[in-house]
A and B are shown apart, each in its own frame.
Chain A
């Protein structure tokens, strides 16, 4: 092809030099952009997966300790003088338990110490004694071994969740000390550590008699001249030893001529915590959750006798809710969840499958069925909390059903699940090839017979997979159940019924997450782990069903 054959506009265009440096740079740039996009993609995936990892691992880390419970093996003498075999309910089991503790710690006699001792153990230890006696009345008069849970702070301390001792000084207190030390005002270490201050002995503050002057104010003023902190902190003089004012007073009384003058470099002894800081140690103090260091002494003595253990906490699954974290369990919530799920299953699965079969196979195409279809698609996207409002307004207010009842919860969740089940069933029905239908129709089956005898059985595995995944979502549903009051406090699983107040796993988790005690944090995480395990099981079942029964046509 010659130049003359090209159109005029191309003839005048400069030839592009593909081998030029500029082009090489351009290609490098384009490839770099490609790699960059790829890297962003990988980064995004890493973030998503990493966040999932943090989510799961943080809950495992905080929750696994709840699957174990620190317990003490205590020998209890079931004194026949205290327990009347004919009237078991009236015995003073607290006293019996405290008597048992006395045998281990005979030196503990004062009422305060006794209370501190019994605080180590769960406050419901007496019920443990009572329950034992109730189920073994023939043991009265014997000495039995009883395993009682420790109370929450000690349980958490044994697990290492909370420390026995914490740093005595706050960050700002330490910073203030560092500031003084940086000025060279702190000297010596250990018990000899001192703070030197210039003090103006204000005659007005000393007053007429040096023995009764307001020396605390004088020291505070001296301190204020060096550190600018709030009056309140300075006046309480936490950095100085308790007798600081008396030291100054003694000095002024001994040297009355100092009144009205400035004493330079007066040395005050430091309070013990700051003295430790001056010698490079970290001052520690007992964690506020514990009443006394003796409690640890007693606990450690029991431990050295091998009486303290940390067995698997069956109570987590056997106990119902409790105000005490060490006794709270999931049994009530699990039973409630099962009730709600059963109600939901019984209502939503037949309804959903029937509706889907009608819409997919029998419904004529007209405005009505279009409306139903649009409606179902939109219903699937309605926020769950709106279903809760429906439950409150219709089931509880209008029909007068009881609040917090699993029946109402199941109904609300069933209505919520209905679109999901209908959509899943329709997809499964669509997947059955037309040849099956045509063959059945060809041998003379009615449309209902085709459906019931051929299509539905073939679609069943797909339907069940959809149903199980839908149910798995229903197990974790919280907001609508919260609105109808299913966060009830259920301390016993004895009278849970369809119309009795109940709670479910997710709302139990929500209530525990709201509780202030430290032990409930671990309990909440443990509840979440149980819930997640439940979900994993259900999803695994769905995947198994799909792989085992799914047919490729």
Chain B
């Protein structure tokens, strides 16, 4: 049905383009020079008014149809069936009706449910057909109205350009809407979480055991939502990643900008950039396939019992992923240092190494720092490597050979599988997401500030 609606709107839009075009030629008395705009603009004007409003109408209709029919369905159920039903059982009942309506019948549904399913199907088809009809009516109305406006003096180009302007503005606002959507959904769900769990416990509690109670009176099942071990694990893994990525990335950048000849640079730089193009799930598998066994073997040969999903393994593999990030940002920072500083240093008789360590690096430091901050924000937001290579249980430890968990791991484990939106377990993921979002945002803003300031100084 939906496909037909969209196809019909598309076909009508194309047809109205042709109609508008023809119409403009008709009103021009056979001489195109009488027209204010070129015929295509008349066509586009009509087509835009036929296509866009009806499309928006259909999308709004679709967004509302489901909830409205659900509401009607619940209202139409016999009172004895819905009495004393909470939100959860009610949702179950509604989804059972929908399953029956689709013909997936398990067991013996009650007569009420079967009737409701029939009603549901009937309403669905009524809704679809009325949507189809109203969309078509809207199209035709727009077609009649706009084509009646076409006259030789009609400023079609300006009208079309104004429509296009509005379309483009809408598109740019979608980027803002995305941010608003992220912030609102995180704030809203996190707010619900903080209604159930106090923020004090979340930010300062030392124990993280987000299981849900299976029974109301279960003693262990309340769950503990003290996120300090999770934050600490995240920072620890990010720190280990930086320990790997900063030296390798920085030395790589130094060599490539200052020592390497152009051919070497032209070959090596893209090869290192490949590391960023590799999907993170591949790094995660690399960690469990190669790095973790090698690490545990090595530790066993030293006589130390090491866990295969230790912080060290996840951190090192994440560090490998971040190398090109640091190297290309430091590369940019070092090349941006003005030629005069470099030449001045050489003129004083400094060697290349002295020029780099005493002149270029200090001058490029803000840029490099900005790059490192961006890399840290990337590291704490990285998900798949830690989901596959780090632990799930939150332990409060700084020992790098013990498993720790991270914010992103917890978000994924809490949300994988069935999600109910009223348990603190699910909502905790959003609280963690909010913390993650704010942390990366702050890091990014600071980093961009530093980089910008530094650029201004040399420009």
Report which A residues bind B (CB closer than 8 A): 30-31, 33-34, 36-38, 40-45, 47-49, 51-52, 54-55, 58-59, 62, 350-352, 354-355, 357-359, 362-363, 371-372, 375-379, 381-390, 392-394, 396-400, 415, 418-419, 422, 446-448, 472-473, 475-479, 482-483, 485, 487, 506-507, 509-510, 513, 521, 524-525, 528, 531-532, 535, 539
Contact = CB atoms under 8 A, between A and B. Distances in A.
Interface in B1-22: none
Contacts of A399: 63
Contacts of A54: 290
Given A48-B249, A472-B277, 10 more contacts: A37-B357, A41-B252, A48-B252, A382-B381, A383-B381, A384-B383, A476-B282, A479-B408, A509-B285, A532-B278
A38 B66 CA distance: 66
B286 interface: yes
A524 B437 CA distance: 31
Given A51-B320, A378-B445, A482-B412, A510 B281 contact: yes
A550 B9 CA distance: 37
Interface stretch (B75-83, B133-141, B164-172, B216-224): B164-172
A393 B191 CA distance: 13
Interface in B324-359: 324, 327, 351-354, 356-357
B144 to A, nearest CB: 27
B26 interface: no
A483 B354 CA distance: 50
Interface string B277-319: 1111111111011100000000000000000000000000000
Contacts of B161: 446-448
B433 A478 contact: no
Interface string B243-287: 000011111101110010000000010011011011111111110
Most chain A Cβ neighbours within 10 Å, of B285, B289, B327, B382: B285
A58 B279 contact: no
Most chain B Cβ neighbours within 10 Å, of A378, A399, A483: A483
A270 to B, nearest CB: 29
Contacts of B437: 382-383, 386
B255 A483 contact: no
B252 A44 contact: yes
Given A390-B181, A535-B277, A358 B169 contact: yes
A52 B275 contact: yes
B275 A48 contact: yes
B157 interface: yes
B248 A47 contact: yes
Contact of B176 (A42, A48, A372): A372
B387 interface: yes
Interface residues of B, number: 90
Nearest to B417: A485
Nearest to A389: B433
B179 A375 contact: yes
Lowest 4 CB-CB distances: which A-B pairs, in order?
A: A41-B255, A383-B381, A476-B279, A44-B251
28 contacts: A38-B353, A44-B251, A48-B272, A52-B272, A55-B320, A59-B282, A351-B171, A375-B176, A378-B445, A381-B378, A381-B441, A383-B380, A388-B415, A393-B185, A393-B186, A396-B419, A397-B421, A399-B63, A418-B174, A419-B175, A475-B279, A476-B281, A478-B281, A487-B416, A509-B282, A510-B281, A513-B284, A525-B285
A479 B175 contact: no
Most chain A Cβ neighbours within 10 Å, of B66, B175, B351: B175
B415 A510 contact: no
B412 A376 contact: no
A38 B259 contact: yes
Nearest to B65: A400
B188 interface: yes
Interface in B351-391: 351-354, 356-357, 374, 377-378, 380-384, 387-388
Given A48-B323, A528-B282, A521 B251 contact: no
B286 A59 contact: yes
Interface in B423-441: 429-430, 433, 436-437, 440-441
B289 A58 contact: yes
A399 B70 CA distance: 13
Contacts of A383: 377-378, 380-383, 408, 436-437, 440
Nearest to A403: B419
B396 to A, nearest CB: 23
Interface in B57-71: 63, 66-67
A45 B284 contact: no
Contacts of A38: 255, 259, 352-353
B297 to A, nearest CB: 12
Contact of A394 (B185, B286, B421, B441): B185
Contacts of B186: 386, 389, 393
Contacts of B275: 48, 51-52
A350 B170 CA distance: 12
Contacts of A379: 175, 178-179
Contact of A483 (B250, B268, B415): B415
A387 B101 CA distance: 33
A355 B351 contact: no
Nearest to A390: B182
Contacts of B189: 393
Contacts of B181: 390, 394
B281 to A, nearest CB: 4
A467 to B, nearest CB: 15
Given A381-B374, A487-B416, A524-B285, A393 B430 contact: yes
A443 to B, nearest CB: 15
Given A390-B182, A419-B175, A41 B251 contact: yes
B185 to A, nearest CB: 4
A45 B256 contact: yes
Contacts of A397: 419, 421
B173 interface: yes
Contacts of A482: 387, 412, 416
Contacts of B165: 358, 362
B444 interface: yes
Contacts of A510: 281, 284, 384, 387-388
B227 interface: no
A525 B167 contact: no
Given A58-B290, A390-B181, A528-B285, A45 B171 contact: no
A389 B444 contact: no
B354 A446 contact: no
B251 A43 contact: yes
A389 B164 CA distance: 32
B230 interface: no
A26 to B, nearest CB: 11
B132 to A, nearest CB: 18
B282 A355 contact: no
B279 A390 contact: no
A45 B323 CA distance: 10
A415 B181 CA distance: 11
A49 B272 contact: yes
Most chain A Cβ neighbours within 10 Å, of B164, B280, B353: B353
A479 B384 contact: yes
Contacts of A33: 351, 353-354
B127 interface: no
B251 A40 contact: yes
Given A379-B175, A385-B411, A399-B63, A34 B351 contact: yes
A362 B161 CA distance: 11
B448 interface: yes
A473 B63 CA distance: 30
Interface string B150-168: 0000000100110011011
Given A41-B259, A375-B176, A399-B63, A357 B168 contact: yes
Contact of A363 (B172, B380, B429, B430): B172
B255 A377 contact: no
A38 B351 CA distance: 12
A230 B290 CA distance: 34
Nearest to A352: B171
